[in-house]
Amino acid sequence: MKEPLAFAVDRMLGRLCKWMRILGFDSRYVSVDSRKQIEDFRKDGRMVLTRNQRWRNVEGVFFISTDHPMEQVKQVTTALKIHRGHTAPFTICIRCNNPLKAVPKEGVLGLVPEHIHFTMKTFHMCSECKNVYWCGSHPRRMTQHMEQIFGQQIFNANSKEG
């Protein structure tokens, strides 16, 4: 895998985009309308992920051949030889694709449910939209999906929270 790996994910692939962010990859959610745009993304170091046949054989494009989000993630990780060590879960905001930074417990008082504030030690906040994340804010099903993709446990701290 070449690093750093960044993506421009076509509008029709919202869940795939979300997943690439969960895995820690800079993934812009875009509407791919022209070759020029694809070329610009390529120059910018972004690989275009699309399900649109029209772009299938264009340089800089990775064509997604399935409708199932988890299969799509698998398709990308397999083809690009992305393994667990390349991923950086909890580093990118799922909502807006900006970096998360660690914030002290005091910094999120009033921003998260009280019991979460009481029980969790580590919090991360988006530098842009200020969304707060903590271990367990991703549902368990998400963790299971990750394990399916990589064949091993990926989040340690998540297992207690459902």
Q: Site residues (CB under 5 A) for Zn ion?
A: 93, 95-96, 98, 126, 128-129, 131
Q: How would you list the strands of the sheet with 100-103, edge to edge?
A: 100-103, 123-126, 132-134
37 vs 91, beta carbon nearer Zn ion? 91
State the nearest-atom distance from the C-beta of 65 to Zn ion, in Å. Answer: 30
108 vs 126, beta carbon nearer Zn ion? 126
State the nearest-atom distance from the C-beta of 2 to Zn ion, in Å. Answer: 26
52 vs 91, beta carbon nearer Zn ion? 91
Q: What region does 134 belong to: left with phi over 0, alpha with psi -120 to 50, or beta?
A: beta
Residue 102: CB partners within 8 Å, gap ≥ 6? 122, 123, 124
State the nearest-atom distance from the C-beta of 125 to Zn ion, in Å. Answer: 9
21 vs 46, beta carbon nearer Zn ion? 21
Cis peptide before 4 (omega within 30 of 0): yes
Residue 9's SS3 state is: strand
Q: Which two tokens stand for residue 133?
A: 């994340």
State the nearest-atom distance from the C-beta of 22 to Zn ion, in Å. Answer: 13
124 vs 145, beta carbon nearer Zn ion? 124
Q: Which two tokens stand for residue 100?
A: 């998360």
Q: What region does 10 belong to: left with phi over 0, alpha with psi -120 to 50, or beta?
A: beta
State the nearest-atom distance from the C-beta of 27 to Zn ion, in Å. Answer: 13
